[in-house]
Amino acid sequence: MDSQNTSAISSAPTFFASHRLRRNGLAAQIAGRIGSGMLVLWAAVTLSFVSLQLAPGDIVSLLIGEQLRTPEVEAAIRAEWGLDEPLLSQYLSYLTRILHGDFGRSYILQTEVSQLVLSQILPTLKLTTAALFVAIIFGLVSAVLTAGRRIPRGIAGALELTLVSTPSFWLGILLLYLFSFTLKLFPVSGDRSFSALVLPALALGLPLGAVVGQVLRQGLERALEEPFALTVRSWGTSGLVLRLRHGLRHAALPAVTLTGWLVGSLLSGAVITESVFGRPGLGRVTVEAVLGHDLPVVLAVAILSAFVYVTLSTLVDVLYLWLDPRLRSDSPEAAR
């Protein structure tokens, strides 16, 4: 806890200063981003603690969920959460425990929350990775083949609008009906084989791929209008090579800003997709925990996903600073 608190506090002034002074070097700016990411995480953990305190009803019945309340269980909860101690020391021990990866105990499932979450991470990771793959491939193909071409562009645009507007769970139901029940190509549920991953990944990935495609196409069209595109064309380079080798490089940078949104949507979407396809995973655990008022589990999943989200978007921020010197605060453009 100490290390996190001190680093968050010591880096806070750098972060705030970087807004105003615009004289910091790259290293300081990167440290600022990381510090501000840690600040957000610390605040997220604090928020979860505060919400437990402020929620209506007493904290013991919040933590116990729908489990039978016996004096023994109540004593166990009081001891575990230090409920008889002053609020400040409760808070500090909560922070310490979470820093050590200890999210408490689920009284409904009679197990350590961290073990439960760890055991369910793999199937969710498989699903989200596969869906990310689907989204990126779909977006790339759709953007590269249709950018700047009137009719294909219109068709791809209409397809993307439809996909963006389609709830992933309905897409999942349609895919299930078509490919599992009617054509019997893929299993209906479970996570036993690779083929069980195909339909869930499509249901989760295609609507996201539509957004990726829209952003990539816009970037690509802008790049193709730049003077360099004309130069490359004058070398006799084919259209596809121009798009793939030169255009995409420029189009990819704005698409990278989608990372945060993509991570959030994949995590949110996985909750629903896992239910549609009866897959094991964090999403299933979360839904059952919410319906059973199993707060320790819900909070653990929420904090974990905030951690993933903040880590990845901080990484992208840092990558961006490194890739695009114009964004650094010591560059002439940023100092305008």
Partner 1 sequence: MSALPAPAEHETAPASQFLRRLPTNPGLALAALFLAVIAIATVSPALLATADPIAADPLQAQLPPSWEHWFGTDHLGRDVFSRVVHGARYSILIGVGAVALAATAGSFLGLVAGLSRGLIDEIITRLLDVVSAFPDLLLALVLISFTGPGTTNLIFALGVAFIPRFARVVRAQTFVIARSGYVEQARTFGLSRTVLVLRHVLPHAVAQVPILATIGLGTAIIGAAGLSFLGMGPQPPAPEWGAMLAEARNYLRVAWWIGVWPGLAITLTVIAISVLGRRWQTAFEGRRSE
Residues that bind partner 1 (CB under 8 A): 16, 36, 39-41, 43-44, 47, 51, 55, 62, 161-162, 164-170, 173-174, 176-177, 181, 263-265, 267-269, 271-272, 275-276, 286-287, 289-291, 293-295, 298-299, 301-302, 305-306, 309-310
Considering only CA atoms, which of 285, 162, 150 is closest in space to residue 221?
Answer: 150
Q: How far is the CB of 50 from partner 1 (least distance, A)?
A: 11
Considering only CA atoms, which of 250, 215, 237 is closest in space to residue 142?
Answer: 215
Considering only CA atoms, which of 191, 172, 175 is closest in space to residue 183?
Answer: 175
Alpha helices for 166-281 (secondary structure H): 168-175, 195-224, 227-234, 239-241, 248-256, 259-276
Count of Cβ atoms closer than 10 Å to residue 153 Cβ: 17
Q: Which residues touch 211 (CB under 8 Å, ≥6 apart)?
A: 139, 160, 164, 258, 261
d(CA 207, CA 272): 14
Q: How far is the CB of 242 from partner 1 (least distance, A)?
A: 28
Q: How far is the CB of 259 from partner 1 (least distance, A)?
A: 13
Helix (H) or strand (E) holding 118: helix 113-146
- Rank residues 166 and 331 by Cβ distance to partner 1 and give the closer one: 166
- Rank residues 248 and 303 by Cβ distance to partner 1 and give the closer one: 303
Q: How far is the CB of 294 from partner 1 (least distance, A)?
A: 8
The two three-digit tokens of residue 250, written as one number: 């420029």
- Rank residues 147 and 270 by Cβ distance to partner 1 and give the closer one: 270
- Rank residues 37 and 247 by Cβ distance to partner 1 and give the closer one: 37
The torsion region of residue 10 among left (phi > 0), alpha (psi -120 to 50) and beta comes to alpha
Q: How far is the CB of 137 from partner 1 (least distance, A)?
A: 23
- Rank residues 51 and 119 by Cβ distance to partner 1 and give the closer one: 51
- Rank residues 232 and 272 by Cβ distance to partner 1 and give the closer one: 272
Q: How far is the CB of 298 from partner 1 (least distance, A)?
A: 4
- Rank residues 135 and 248 by Cβ distance to partner 1 and give the closer one: 135
d(CA 31, CA 13): 11
Q: How far is the CB of 320 from partner 1 (least distance, A)?
A: 17
* 175-to-84, 169, 179, 212, 275 alpha-carbon distances in Å: 53, 10, 6, 21, 14
Q: How far is the CB of 211 from partner 1 (least distance, A)?
A: 11
Tell me the three state secondary structure of residue 14. Answer: helix
Helix (H) or strand (E) holding 311: helix 295-323
- Rank residues 37 and 139 by Cβ distance to partner 1 and give the closer one: 37
